[in-house]
Amino acid sequence: MQRTPVNTGSVEWSGENPGIYLKENPDGDYSVVALFFRIVLSPHGRGVGAIILGDPDKPSGYPDVPNLCLTNNRPMMNYLINNFASKFPTMAGKAAVTAMSWFDVTSNIQKNSDMPNSYTEELSARDLTVQMTWLDLQAPMAIEVGPDASATKEHDMYAVFLEASDAQISINGTPLQGQVVNRQFFGRTMSTAFLALSETWVSPK
Protein backbone atom coordinates (compact mmCIF):
# COMPACT_ATOMS: atom_id res chain seq x y z
CA MET A 1 0.00 0.00 0.00
CA GLN A 2 1.33 3.41 -0.95
CA ARG A 3 1.93 5.70 2.04
CA THR A 4 0.39 9.18 2.02
CA PRO A 5 3.21 11.73 2.45
CA VAL A 6 1.08 14.50 3.98
CA ASN A 7 -1.38 14.27 6.87
CA THR A 8 -4.01 16.89 6.03
CA GLY A 9 -5.35 17.03 9.58
CA SER A 10 -4.82 19.88 12.04
CA VAL A 11 -1.50 19.77 13.92
CA GLU A 12 -2.37 20.31 17.61
CA TRP A 13 1.08 20.30 19.20
CA SER A 14 4.60 19.03 18.75
CA GLY A 15 7.54 18.53 21.06
CA GLU A 16 8.73 16.06 23.70
CA ASN A 17 6.57 14.13 26.16
CA PRO A 18 8.60 11.65 28.26
CA GLY A 19 6.77 9.76 31.00
CA ILE A 20 7.39 7.75 34.16
CA TYR A 21 4.69 5.51 35.68
CA LEU A 22 5.63 3.65 38.88
CA LYS A 23 3.99 0.94 40.99
CA GLU A 24 4.69 -0.11 44.56
CA ASN A 25 2.80 -3.37 43.91
CA PRO A 26 3.26 -4.82 40.40
CA ASP A 27 -0.32 -6.07 40.48
CA GLY A 28 -1.78 -2.83 41.85
CA ASP A 29 -2.55 0.61 40.48
CA TYR A 30 0.10 3.16 39.63
CA SER A 31 1.50 4.87 42.72
CA VAL A 32 3.12 7.61 40.63
CA VAL A 33 2.10 9.02 37.25
CA ALA A 34 4.37 11.69 35.79
CA LEU A 35 4.74 13.40 32.41
CA PHE A 36 7.25 15.96 31.20
CA PHE A 37 6.54 18.33 28.30
CA ARG A 38 8.88 20.40 26.16
CA ILE A 39 6.62 21.96 23.54
CA VAL A 40 7.90 23.66 20.40
CA LEU A 41 4.51 24.20 18.73
CA SER A 42 1.02 24.64 20.21
CA PRO A 43 -1.93 27.06 20.05
CA HIS A 44 -0.48 28.69 23.19
CA GLY A 45 3.14 28.88 22.12
CA ARG A 46 6.20 27.13 23.44
CA GLY A 47 7.14 26.05 26.93
CA VAL A 48 8.07 23.35 29.40
CA GLY A 49 6.06 21.67 32.10
CA ALA A 50 5.71 18.59 34.26
CA ILE A 51 2.76 16.83 35.86
CA ILE A 52 3.71 14.81 38.94
CA LEU A 53 0.94 12.78 40.56
CA GLY A 54 2.51 11.06 43.56
CA ASP A 55 -0.91 10.10 44.93
CA PRO A 56 -3.09 9.97 41.79
CA ASP A 57 -6.37 9.10 43.50
CA LYS A 58 -6.20 11.71 46.26
CA PRO A 59 -7.96 15.04 45.56
CA SER A 60 -5.26 17.13 47.19
CA GLY A 61 -2.13 19.04 46.20
CA TYR A 62 1.40 19.77 47.35
CA PRO A 63 2.72 19.78 50.07
CA ASP A 64 -0.06 17.64 51.58
CA VAL A 65 0.68 15.02 48.93
CA PRO A 66 3.08 15.13 45.95
CA ASN A 67 0.49 16.12 43.36
CA LEU A 68 1.77 19.12 41.41
CA CYS A 69 2.25 20.79 38.05
CA LEU A 70 5.23 22.99 37.18
CA THR A 71 5.31 25.10 34.01
CA ASN A 72 6.52 28.33 32.44
CA ASN A 73 3.38 28.57 30.26
CA ARG A 74 0.11 27.97 32.13
CA PRO A 75 -2.24 28.43 29.14
CA MET A 76 -0.22 25.82 27.23
CA MET A 77 -0.30 23.34 30.11
CA ASN A 78 -4.03 23.83 30.66
CA TYR A 79 -4.54 23.09 26.96
CA LEU A 80 -2.39 19.94 27.13
CA ILE A 81 -4.06 18.68 30.30
CA ASN A 82 -7.65 19.38 29.28
CA ASN A 83 -7.37 18.04 25.74
CA PHE A 84 -4.71 15.35 26.03
CA ALA A 85 -3.14 14.27 29.34
CA SER A 86 -6.44 13.98 31.23
CA LYS A 87 -7.62 11.55 28.53
CA PHE A 88 -4.55 9.31 28.73
CA PRO A 89 -5.48 5.98 30.40
CA THR A 90 -2.98 6.54 33.23
CA MET A 91 -4.54 9.90 34.17
CA ALA A 92 -8.17 9.60 33.09
CA GLY A 93 -10.52 10.00 36.05
CA LYS A 94 -7.73 10.56 38.58
CA ALA A 95 -8.78 12.98 41.32
CA ALA A 96 -5.30 14.51 41.53
CA VAL A 97 -5.50 15.96 38.00
CA THR A 98 -7.92 18.69 39.08
CA ALA A 99 -6.58 19.03 42.63
CA MET A 100 -2.82 19.28 42.05
CA SER A 101 -0.94 22.44 43.00
CA TRP A 102 0.53 24.67 40.28
CA PHE A 103 3.95 26.34 40.32
CA ASP A 104 5.67 28.72 37.91
CA VAL A 105 9.00 27.38 36.64
CA THR A 106 12.05 29.54 37.33
CA SER A 107 14.64 27.23 35.72
CA ASN A 108 14.86 24.09 33.57
CA ILE A 109 18.04 22.03 33.27
CA GLN A 110 18.58 19.16 30.84
CA LYS A 111 21.22 16.63 31.90
CA ASN A 112 21.68 14.56 28.77
CA SER A 113 25.46 14.22 28.52
CA ASP A 114 25.10 10.44 28.96
CA MET A 115 22.57 10.03 26.15
CA PRO A 116 21.64 7.54 24.86
CA ASN A 117 22.20 5.70 28.16
CA SER A 118 20.40 8.01 30.59
CA TYR A 119 18.57 11.32 30.61
CA THR A 120 17.44 13.79 33.28
CA GLU A 121 15.07 16.74 33.31
CA GLU A 122 15.10 19.14 36.26
CA LEU A 123 12.48 21.83 36.85
CA SER A 124 12.65 24.39 39.64
CA ALA A 125 10.05 26.80 40.98
CA ARG A 126 11.98 28.92 43.47
CA ASP A 127 12.64 26.59 46.43
CA LEU A 128 10.89 23.59 44.82
CA THR A 129 12.89 21.27 42.53
CA VAL A 130 11.59 18.25 40.67
CA GLN A 131 13.97 15.85 38.97
CA MET A 132 12.97 13.08 36.56
CA THR A 133 15.61 10.56 35.42
CA TRP A 134 15.39 7.79 32.83
CA LEU A 135 18.02 5.04 33.10
CA ASP A 136 19.25 2.23 30.85
CA LEU A 137 17.64 3.59 27.69
CA GLN A 138 16.94 1.14 24.89
CA ALA A 139 17.22 1.58 21.14
CA PRO A 140 14.85 4.19 19.65
CA MET A 141 11.81 3.12 17.68
CA ALA A 142 9.48 5.11 15.45
CA ILE A 143 5.79 5.08 16.39
CA GLU A 144 2.87 6.07 14.16
CA VAL A 145 -0.69 5.42 15.37
CA GLY A 146 -4.19 6.57 14.47
CA PRO A 147 -7.14 7.38 16.73
CA ASP A 148 -7.89 3.71 17.37
CA ALA A 149 -4.53 3.24 19.10
CA SER A 150 -3.57 6.71 20.37
CA ALA A 151 -3.91 7.56 24.06
CA THR A 152 -6.77 10.01 23.49
CA LYS A 153 -8.62 7.79 20.99
CA GLU A 154 -9.13 10.98 18.98
CA HIS A 155 -5.81 11.83 17.31
CA ASP A 156 -3.05 10.65 15.03
CA MET A 157 0.24 10.52 16.92
CA TYR A 158 3.83 10.30 15.69
CA ALA A 159 6.88 9.97 17.94
CA VAL A 160 10.27 8.38 18.57
CA PHE A 161 10.18 6.24 21.74
CA LEU A 162 13.09 5.04 23.87
CA GLU A 163 12.18 2.66 26.68
CA ALA A 164 13.94 3.05 30.03
CA SER A 165 14.53 -0.06 32.13
CA ASP A 166 14.58 2.07 35.29
CA ALA A 167 13.54 5.58 36.30
CA GLN A 168 13.45 7.89 39.30
CA ILE A 169 11.48 10.96 40.36
CA SER A 170 12.46 13.18 43.27
CA ILE A 171 11.01 16.32 44.85
CA ASN A 172 13.60 18.42 46.66
CA GLY A 173 15.85 15.36 46.72
CA THR A 174 13.25 13.00 48.21
CA PRO A 175 12.47 10.11 45.83
CA LEU A 176 8.89 9.08 45.15
CA GLN A 177 8.18 5.44 45.89
CA GLY A 178 7.55 2.81 43.25
CA GLN A 179 9.19 0.79 40.52
CA VAL A 180 9.09 0.71 36.75
CA VAL A 181 7.01 -2.22 35.47
CA ASN A 182 6.07 -3.63 32.07
CA ARG A 183 2.80 -3.12 30.23
CA GLN A 184 1.24 -3.87 26.86
CA PHE A 185 1.71 -0.80 24.69
CA PHE A 186 1.57 -0.43 20.90
CA GLY A 187 1.04 -4.18 20.60
CA ARG A 188 4.18 -5.14 22.48
CA THR A 189 5.55 -5.40 26.02
CA MET A 190 7.14 -2.10 27.00
CA SER A 191 8.44 -0.37 30.11
CA THR A 192 6.33 2.22 31.94
CA ALA A 193 9.24 4.67 31.72
CA PHE A 194 10.05 6.13 28.33
CA LEU A 195 11.30 9.08 26.36
CA ALA A 196 8.86 10.28 23.71
CA LEU A 197 10.75 12.61 21.38
CA SER A 198 9.70 14.45 18.24
CA GLU A 199 6.11 13.81 19.31
CA THR A 200 3.33 15.33 17.23
CA TRP A 201 -0.45 15.11 17.70
CA VAL A 202 -2.82 15.68 14.81
CA SER A 203 -6.62 15.94 14.67
CA PRO A 204 -7.49 13.92 11.58
CA LYS A 205 -9.96 15.17 9.00
Is position 1 within any domain? no
Average pLDDT of the chain to the nearest whole number = 94
25 belongs to a structural domain: yes
> Domains in the chain: how many in total?
1
The predicted structure's pLDDT at residue 1: 63
Q: Identify which has the larger pLDDT, 109 or 105.
A: 105
Domain contains 42: yes
Q: How far is CA 7 from CA 43, 44, 158, 203, in A?
A: 18, 22, 11, 10
pLDDT digits (tens, 9 = 90+) for 2-41: 777 899 999 999 999 999 999 999 889 999 999 999 999 9
Decide if 2 is inside a domain.
no
Q: Given its phi and psi angles, is residue 130 left (phi above 0), alpha (psi -120 to 50 degrees) or beta?
A: beta
Whether pLDDT at 126 is above 70: yes
- pLDDT recorded at residue 17: 97
Q: Which of 81-90, 109-118, 126-135, 189-198 is least confident?
A: 109-118
In a domain, 169, yes or no: yes
pTM of the model: 0.94
Domain containing 155 equals 10-203
* Between 164 and 205, the higher pLDDT residue: 164
**Average pLDDT of the residues in 133-160:** 95
Where is 120: in which H helix or E strand?
strand 119-125
State which H helix or E strand residue 52 sits in: strand 47-53
Helix (H, G, I), strand (E, B) or coil at 81: helix
134: buried, middle or exposed (CB in 10 Å: 19+, 13-18, 0-12)?
buried
